[in-house]
Amino acid sequence: MLALVMLTGLVCVALGSVPIPLDKTASILWDGVLGRDLTGNTQAVIILTVRLPRVISVFLVGAALSLCGAAMQGLLRNPLADGATLGVSSGASLGAMLAILMGIQLPMLPLAGTAVLSVIFAFLSLLLVLFLAFALDRSLATNTIILIGVILTMFMGSLMSLLISFSGPRLRSLTFWTLGSLSGAGYAEALFLLLALVVCGLVLLAHARELDAFAMGEENARAIGVSVRRVKLTVMAAVSVLIGVCVSIGGSIGFVGLVIPHISRLIMGPAHKRLLITSLLLGGVFLMLCDLAARTLLSPVELPLGVVTSLIGAVFFMFILANTRRRAA
């Protein structure tokens, strides 16, 4: 699996509007790792300053979104659930959009303004979902949470449309951003994503057994000794931080968190210890390939990444759904 990640990464770095042979790409990357002087080498500049940080960021966003999807699907016992179903993604999008519109930035930390507001809004959406779910149904039943998540997503969508319609000259950048893109991602973005993925990813991996317990029913999870409320809150918090950071950097990129965990489950089975790791790696590979398609299909025009994932993901998901129905019948 790691070899697949490395190979896909290498291909994605090599290909683009200016294709560079694989062996040449590998040697430039190796020279870059060893810190050799590559000044004056145009191909090295393209690879090391443009493509590599972007491919790394794309891998990390894909891995994070897919990991979040797998975790939410276990927690909510629903294969169609992911961070987006909870309303966390749309909350994060709204926060990021507000930060862009109001020009909120933190001194010394250019990325942090959007990310902080994005994570805060992701958290607030989460708290709102939990508060409403708790008010309606004290047990925080999963169906209630999903329903409220859907309502919240629609509400946030309306607010975002409202913001876009009032945004005037910034409209184009906002629209492109809501479609999802990592075209401007550099090493700073990659490092930020890596930090978030390591911290939240470890939290989620540490709860693999609890997610198995949730996947077999919440009442049963409590009966075997799982602290249902604490685990729910921890997993949801980790998911919302990850999604908040991803959305603040790459915008809305849909379907990764739905399709990849599904495929991973078919390959590895439902046990979360393996499922989470497989989803993480496959999610990264999938998004790297989608980004490659976005960059090269209509070159020199670049497609928004979110559009590519939705196009591939929707068709693929319909296929999965039809297949599942056929098997059930």
Partner 1 sequence: MLRVEGVSVSYRDFEAVHDISFEVSGGQWLMLAGPNGAGKSTLLKAIAKVLRYQGKVYLDGMDTARLKTKEMARRMGVLHQHHTLGYPYTVEQLVGLGRYAHQSFLSHADPDGRRMVDEALALCGLSGLRRQNVLTLSGGELQRAFLAQVFAQGTRLLLLDEPASHLDLAYQRLIFDTVRDWLQTPGRAVMSVVHDLQLARRYGTHALFMKQGRSVAFGARDSVFTRKNLQAVWDMKVGDWFIWLNEPWLMDKKG
User: Which positions touch partner 1 (CB under 8 A)?
Assistant: 74, 77-79, 139, 206, 209, 212-213, 215-217, 219-220, 222-228, 265, 269-271
Q: Find the radius of gyration of the CA atoms of the chain.
A: 20
CB 209 to partner 1: min, Å: 6
Beta strand segments in 105-216, E: none
Q: How far apart are CA 27 and CA 203, in angstroms?
A: 36
Is omega for the bond preceding 261 within 30 degrees of 0, making it cis? no
The DSSP line for 70-137 is HHHHHHTT-TT--HHHHTHHHHHHHHHHHHHHHT--BTTBTTHHHHHHHHHHHHHHHHHHHHHHHHH-
CB 54 to partner 1: min, Å: 35
Nearer to partner 1, 42 or 323 (CB): 323
* Of residues 42, 49, 1, 41, the one with CA closest to residue 18: 42
Nearer to partner 1, 75 or 253 (CB): 75
Residue type at 58 in one-letter notation: V
Bridge partners of residue 109, in order along the sequence: 106
Residue 251: its H or E element: none
CB 279 to partner 1: min, Å: 13
* Of residues 43, 18, 39, the one with CA closest to residue 29: 43
Q: What is the largest CA-CA distance in the chain?
A: 65
CB 63 to partner 1: min, Å: 21
Nearer to partner 1, 72 or 303 (CB): 72
Nearer to partner 1, 51 or 265 (CB): 265
CB 101 to partner 1: min, Å: 40
Residue found by looking up tokens 């009032």 in the block:
166
Nearer to partner 1, 172 or 326 (CB): 326
Q: How far apart are CA 120 and CA 27, in angstroms?
A: 42
CB 217 to partner 1: min, Å: 5
Give the single-character DSSP code of 16.
S
Nearer to partner 1, 234 or 296 (CB): 234
Nearer to partner 1, 74 or 95 (CB): 74
CB 191 to partner 1: min, Å: 27
CB 71 to partner 1: min, Å: 13
Nearer to partner 1, 119 or 221 (CB): 221
Q: Are 314 and 255 in contact (CB under 8 A)?
A: yes
CB 237 to partner 1: min, Å: 17
Nearer to partner 1, 101 or 228 (CB): 228
- Residues 6 or more apart whose Cβ sits within 8 Å of residue 174: 97, 100, 101, 163, 164, 167
